[in-house]
Structure 1
Amino acid sequence: MLKQLKERRENEDGFTLIELMVVVLIIAILIAIAVPTFLGARERAQDRATQSNLRNSLTAGKVIYSDDGNYASVDAALLGNVEPAMTFQAVASAGQGEISFDLASNTEMVYAALSDSGECWYLRDRVGNTAATSGTQFSVRAQGVAGACQGSNTNGLAWAGAW
């Protein structure tokens, strides 16, 4: 009888439970590595899209500045005419997909945008007579929310020369 069982077992093809569990374990490890990497890449892409929108807003503002010689005439409608692909809000809270801007002075504009990742990105353009009083600066506030991401809400920001 043992001989018959042994012969039957030799003819059977398939995987043992241990082999199947090893495969499941390998797949689980790969998923544990891939999912956080994918989520991080997604958030970085969302932030880069927001930064790109801010740079396009800066270009629209500079077009107006070069026409008028100052930022005094900048408003949401004028920015929208120069860059119709974006929605501009004067000082008001920037929801996702909107650019908030604040005319800090005739020579300074601040733009803010809420990324889909939840961070509020800022871009400040200052036009002055010296390197110390002019240039473009960038900042970010972690965990921004609609209602708090405004071009006029720059208190406590650390400005830098690059993202």
Structure 2
Amino acid sequence: MSRSENELEGVTLLGNQNTKYTYDYNPKLLEKFPNKHPENDYMVMLNCPEFTSLCPKTGQPDFADIHINYIPDQSIVESKSLKLYLFSFRNHGDFHEDCVNIIMKDLIALMDPKYIEVEGVFMPRGGISIYPFACYGKPGTVYETRATDRLFASIDRRSHK
């Protein structure tokens, strides 16, 4: 097996012409591949401007722009699998805050990144916009401190005067 084939071992969705879209929450859709530069700190920034889920009480759709930023360690999320995973929330009933935390926890379980943050910019419903922000840094590292700093910076950034 060549090096590039080895690197893509376990990546099954990329290039598949018969993609099946699942609209029920499914974290098993997530795939990863090795980070070729784990010694470097760099940010991977992903955006999903067409995220949808359902209100768990009314069943009405909720629309959001989901921002995912992370510093990888040994693994990187494969973007097509992330897209299919995020689509799987389409019929999932959960509050905005839950969706953002679930996404973050699933990506931590998949990749074990040095640092990750997930922000949901949800469209207003009933005249109220909700922007949940969750972040994580590996315990006992500078990334843990950075996560705390970023959490409070997000509060300051969105605070109402």
TM-score, with structure 2 as normaliser: 0.30
Structure with larger Rg: 1
Higher strand share: 2
Higher helix share: 1
TM-score, with structure 1 as normaliser: 0.30
Whose RCO is larger (CA < 8 A, sep 6+)? Answer: 2
